[in-house]
Amino acid sequence: MAQVLEFRLPDLGEGLTEAEIVRWLVEVGDVVAVDQPVVEVETAKAMVDVPCPYAGVVTARFGEEGSELPVGSPLITVAVGAPASDPDSDTGTEGSGNVLVGYGTTEAPARRRRVRREQQVPVPVNGRSAAPEVVEGPVPVISPLVRRLARENGLDLRELTGSGPDGLILRADVEYALRAAASSGRPAPALAPETTVASPATASTTPAGTRVPLKGVRGAVADKLSRSRSEIPDATCWVDADATELMRARAAMNGAGGPKISLLALLARICTAALARFPELNSTVDTAAREIVRLDAVHLGFAAQTERGLVVPVVKDAHARDAESLSAEFARLTEAARTGTLTPAELTGGTFTLNNYGVFGVDGSTPIINHPEAAMLGVGRIIPKPWVHEGELAVRQVVQLSLTFDHRVCDGGTAGGFLRYVADCVEQPAVLLRTL
């Protein structure tokens, strides 16, 4: 006789208490193997595939796509030892104990062929039994980001024709549908009504508009930035620097063959050298103990704009890496950020942040410190400008550097010394070689 086991949303680590269901990977009646991912969730840190530690037949699912579940709440139930029509399925009663893909003791197996029973079991939603959702046909969408964009704008994907291979619906298709609906004045094919703020019949100063929930990555960023502004007495200093020689040095390095060195990696190498000279800026403030904690290692965060919002992946032990290693790690983390596969561990633990906002075509900014760090270096775009070089006016590659720092950990002299050292290395890369 089959034994029905309940699998609850596991502790995802890093103090996270809830997660949003982005996409179910199994249906009621499917046969699952040990450690097979059953749901894709989004936390305030990252997208995570959650594997089930049991093998058997899925008898119930809890929660709809787009809903949030607290850690410890029921996720699915699995009938262990139930007969399965798939002879290759592993329906043993042993569980792996794995919590997340990549965090367990065994290698995650390839996904099994899904076997659907002819009779569907009602899917409990929010603890109550509900009839399974009736879908006339499969919606050809792979990306959870596309699904989320459509969901947040009340767009029914079943009404769209995809432009991708085999009719796959792409992000561009969703954006085109939204733009077309906006330009024609007609609402997009609605899946659910939007939540709007309507002005009352009487006079009101509150205009009508759409409410966008501050949750997931955007909510976490909002909380962190608000906490930074409220807790840290920050100050900003900036300087223009002639980056012509740095660009020439990079071109020479990449022209010699071997792996390409990114500009971000060279700036990171300059940052770690500067932090070795000014360790006050690689610190954090323990407000409860009223102590400044100067940190031994440099775990360098860098701002990355993604479809899910702003994230800050962290290069661990950046001070021990050369330019080639930094380039490779920046590339790996950037790709993971783009695809939404960063792990919570890759998004936490930073001690200093490098923000290259020049990629947005702007010259300068006043960065907000990534709490609980003590400083952030901002880098604007590098563009040709008139510059006095060796006593004569010339066109040089100029960049603006800005440093926002926690005034509790150091005074302006230290911050200015750090920024001046960074600028000197940008202008004369040989300065970096002399101080290594």
How confident is the model over 187-200, as a mean pLDDT?
48
Binned at pLDDT 50, 70 and 90, residue 107 comes out as: very low
Which residue out of 11, 223, 389, 407 is catalytically annotated? 407
Q: Whole-angstrom distance between the N-terminal and C-terminal Cα of the chain?
A: 69
Instruction: Please tell me which of 74-83, 289-298, 341-350 the model is most confident about, judged by mean pLDDT.
Output: 289-298
Q: Is the pLDDT of residue 144 over 80?
A: no
Q: How many domains does the chain have?
A: 2
The answer to whether residue 77 sits within a structural domain is yes
Q: Tens of pLDDT along 329-341?
A: 999 999 998 888 8
Instruction: Yes or no: say if 406 and 375 are a contact pair by the CB < 8 Å rule.
Output: yes
How confident is the model over 284-302, as a mean pLDDT?
95
Give the range among 89-93, 158-162, 263-267 with minimum mean pLDDT. Answer: 89-93
Binned at pLDDT 50, 70 and 90, residue 411 comes out as: very high
The C-alpha atoms of residue 282 and residue 418 are separated, in whole angstroms, by: 11
Going by C-alpha positions, the residue among 98, 367, 102 that lies closest to residue 224 is 367
Phi then psi dihedrals of residue 382, to 5 deg: -100, 115
The answer to whether residue 178 sits within a structural domain is no
The pTM of the whole model exceeds 0.85: no
The C-alpha atoms of residue 48 and residue 104 are separated, in whole angstroms, by: 14
The answer to whether residue 82 sits within a structural domain is yes
* Last residue within a domain, chosen from 92, 115, 130: 130
* Last residue within a domain, chosen from 130, 149, 177: 130
Binned at pLDDT 50, 70 and 90, residue 396 comes out as: very high
The answer to whether residue 242 sits within a structural domain is yes
Please report, rounded to a whole number, the percentage of residues in the chain having pLDDT higher than 90: 45
407 assigned to active site:
yes
Phi then psi dihedrals of residue 51, to 5 deg: -90, 150
Residues 108, 246 within the same domain: no
The answer to whether residue 195 sits within a structural domain is no
pLDDT value of position 102: 34
Residues linked to residue 286 through DSSP beta bridges, in sequence order: 291
What domain range is 414 assigned to?
229-435
Give the range among 126-135, 137-146, 170-179 with minimum mean pLDDT. Answer: 126-135
pLDDT value of position 17: 75
Q: Is the pLDDT of residue 195 over 50?
A: no
Residues 270, 394 within the same domain: yes
Q: Tens of pLDDT along 420-429?
A: 999 999 999 9
Q: Is the pLDDT of residue 315 over 90?
A: yes
The answer to whether residue 165 sits within a structural domain is no
pLDDT value of position 27: 92
The answer to whether residue 153 sits within a structural domain is no
Binned at pLDDT 50, 70 and 90, residue 87 comes out as: very low
Binned at pLDDT 50, 70 and 90, residue 180 comes out as: confident
The residue among 365 and 112 whose pLDDT is bigger is: 365
Give me the chain's average pLDDT, please: 80
411 assigned to active site:
yes
The C-alpha atoms of residue 408 and residue 386 are separated, in whole angstroms, by: 37
Q: Is the pLDDT of residue 380 over 90?
A: yes
The C-alpha atoms of residue 100 and residue 416 are separated, in whole angstroms, by: 44
How confident is the model over 36-51, as a mean pLDDT?
81
Residues 252, 105 within the same domain: no
Instruction: Please tell me which of 41-55, 73-87, 173-187, 230-244 the model is most confident about, judged by mean pLDDT.
Output: 230-244
How confident is the model over 393-397, as a mean pLDDT?
97
Residues 375, 237 within the same domain: yes
* CATH number, residue 81: 2.40.50.100
Residues 237, 126 within the same domain: no
Instruction: Please tell me which of 13-22, 114-123, 284-293, 332-341 the model is most confident about, judged by mean pLDDT.
Output: 284-293
* Last residue within a domain, chosen from 76, 103, 130: 130
Residues linked to residue 3 through DSSP beta bridges, in sequence order: 80
The answer to whether residue 188 sits within a structural domain is no
Sort residue 334 into left (φ over 0), alpha (ψ -120 to 50) or beta.
Answer: alpha
* CATH number, residue 329: 3.30.559.10
Q: Is the pLDDT of residue 8 over 80?
A: yes
User: In sequence order, which residues have a C-beta less than 8 Å from that of residue 268 and are 6 or more positions away?
Assistant: 300, 302, 315, 318, 326, 330, 354
> E strands along 380-431, which residues?
383-389, 392-406
Which residue out of 223, 286, 317, 411 is catalytically annotated? 411
Distances (CA, A) of 164 to 140, 141, 142, 160, 161: 9, 10, 11, 12, 9
